């Protein structure tokens, strides 16, 4: 029976996706044994799962741990790795000790990735791994990502990007594997909640983490607590939630939000009427 146009398009898309997965597999095999920079996010979780499936013990996942990583995110990432049977280690990174990072310039992520890749390069060289890979995808080429420069300086592989896999394709492939990250919202580091030019400190990061843990406890799924320093001291929590969750935010009993965020150390609270947006 002749396929209709929609079925033909779907078949072509499926064939294209399978070719991309095959290309990624070839890249992984060609550079084994390798270290995978793993954060527990959508991209790195898929890369870890595929690396483990293809290479087994020829791959080691490594999580960078610092004050900019929420404790819950670390626990979730480790739990996912255990469920996959993938070997993962945690290394401490010291990006906050670097004044260039702590000053929070627009290229802050460069200094973070440079610190990460320095540690991973040392680990790889010392333990006989041939390469390092991280989870940059093909869609990331459309945006300015300072961390990419650090990856290039350390010759870090980007198998997802090289295979042409974009974010939605990675989500679809993650669903096939049953990964809980398939539909997870983006979760950049806690430092991203602090406006560029405002110093990143351990105390500020702890406030953001506590504030977001409070919102998570209220049942919100996609949100941010933006850390806004007030003139004369103190900080305001600028709360952003997904537009579809705004009604629930506005329906909270008066004082609930302020009281909860006060326990995190915030002197005042603002609700962003535009809702959550990537930044």
Answer yes or no: do 23 and 143 share one domain. yes
Give the strand pairing for 131-133 and 59-65: unpaired
Answer yes or no: do 221 and 159 share one domain. no
What pLDDT is recorded for position 11? 47
CA angle 272, 260, 217 (to 5 degrees): 85
Query: What contacts 226, CB < 8 A, 6 or more positions away?
Result: 193, 194, 195, 237, 238, 239, 240, 272
| Residue 276 covered by a domain | no
What pLDDT is recorded for position 231? 85
Q: What are phi and psi of 263, to 5 degrees?
A: -65, -20
Answer yes or no: do 165 and 40 share one domain. yes
- The span from the CA of 46 to the CA of 172, in Å, is 10
Answer yes or no: do 126 and 211 share one domain. no
User: How many domains, in total, are found in the chain?
Assistant: 2
| Residue at which a domain ends, from 143, 177, 211 | 177
| Residue 171 covered by a domain | yes
Answer yes or no: do 148 and 15 share one domain. yes
CA angle 227, 39, 173 (to 5 degrees): 120
> What are the residue ranges in the chain where pLDDT is below 70?
1-13, 278-279
User: Is 236 within 8 Å of 207 (Cβ atoms)?
Assistant: no
Evaluate the CA torsion angle 177, 179, 182, 186 in order and state its sign: negative
What pLDDT is recorded for position 144? 79
- Chain centre to alpha carbon of residue 33: 24
Answer yes or no: do 208 and 261 share one domain. yes
Which has the closest alpha carbon to 36: 160, 141, 147, 175?
160
Hey, what are 173's tokens? 């492939």
Answer yes or no: do 130 and 18 share one domain. yes
What pLDDT is recorded for position 251? 86
What pLDDT is recorded for position 10? 57
Answer yes or no: do 137 and 79 share one domain. yes
Give the strand pairing for 34-37 and 131-133: parallel
| Residue 102 covered by a domain | yes
User: With b meaning 16 or more CB within 10 Å and e meaning fewer, what string describes 14-39?
Assistant: eeebeebbeebbebbeebbbbbbbbb
Answer yes or no: do 58 and 120 share one domain. yes
| Residue 49 covered by a domain | yes
| Residue at which a domain ends, from 110, 145, 177 | 177
What pLDDT is recorded for position 232? 81
Answer yes or no: do 237 and 124 share one domain. no
What pLDDT is recorded for position 64? 97
Answer yes or no: do 150 and 217 share one domain. no
| Residue 16 covered by a domain | yes
What pLDDT is recorded for position 79? 98
Does residue 167 come out as left (phi exceeding 0), alpha (psi in the -120 to 50 range) or beta? Answer: alpha
| Residue 195 covered by a domain | no
| Residue at which a domain ends, from 141, 162, 177 | 177
Answer yes or no: do 207 and 122 share one domain. no
What pTM, to 2 d.p., does this model score?
Answer: 0.91
Hey, what are 234's tokens? 């103190």
CATH of the domain at 22: 3.40.50.620
Q: Residue 208 is part of which domain span?
A: 201-271
| Residue 186 covered by a domain | no
What pLDDT is recorded for position 8? 45
| Residue 255 covered by a domain | yes
């Amino acid at each position: 029976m002749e396929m209709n146009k929609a079925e033909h398009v779907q078949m072509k898309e499926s064939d294209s996706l399978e070719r991309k997965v095959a290309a990624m597999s070839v890249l992984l095999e060609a550079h084994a044994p390798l270290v995978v920079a793993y954060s527990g996010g959508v991209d790195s979780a898929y890369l870890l799962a595929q690396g483990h499936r293809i290479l087994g013990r020829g791959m080691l996942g490594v999580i960078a741990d610092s004050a900019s990583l929420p404790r819950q995110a670390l626990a979730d990432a480790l739990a996912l790795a255990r469920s996959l049977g993938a070997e993962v280690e945690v290394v401490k990174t010291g990006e906050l000790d670097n004044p260039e990072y702590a000053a929070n310039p627009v290229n802050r992520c460069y200094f973070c990735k440079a610190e990460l890749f320095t540690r991973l390069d040392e680990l790889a060289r010392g333990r006989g791994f041939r390469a390092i890979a991280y989870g940059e995808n093909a869609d990331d080429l459309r945006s300015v990502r300072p961390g990419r420069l650090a990856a290039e300086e350390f010759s870090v592989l980007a198998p997802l990007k090289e295979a042409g896999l974009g974010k939605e394709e990675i989500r679809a492939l993650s669903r096939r594997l049953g990964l809980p990250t398939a539909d997870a919202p983006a979760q950049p580091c806690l430092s991203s909640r602090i406006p560029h030019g405002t110093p990143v400190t351990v105390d500020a990061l702890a406030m953001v983490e506590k504030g977001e843990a409070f919102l998570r406890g209220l049942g919100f799924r996609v949100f941010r607590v933006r850390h806004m320093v007030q003139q004369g001291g103190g900080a305001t929590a600028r709360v952003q939630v997904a537009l579809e969750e705004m009604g629930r935010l506005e329906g909270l009993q008066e004082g609930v939000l302020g009281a909860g965020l006060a326990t995190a150390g915030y002197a005042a609270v603002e609700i962003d009427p535009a809702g959550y947006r990537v930044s």
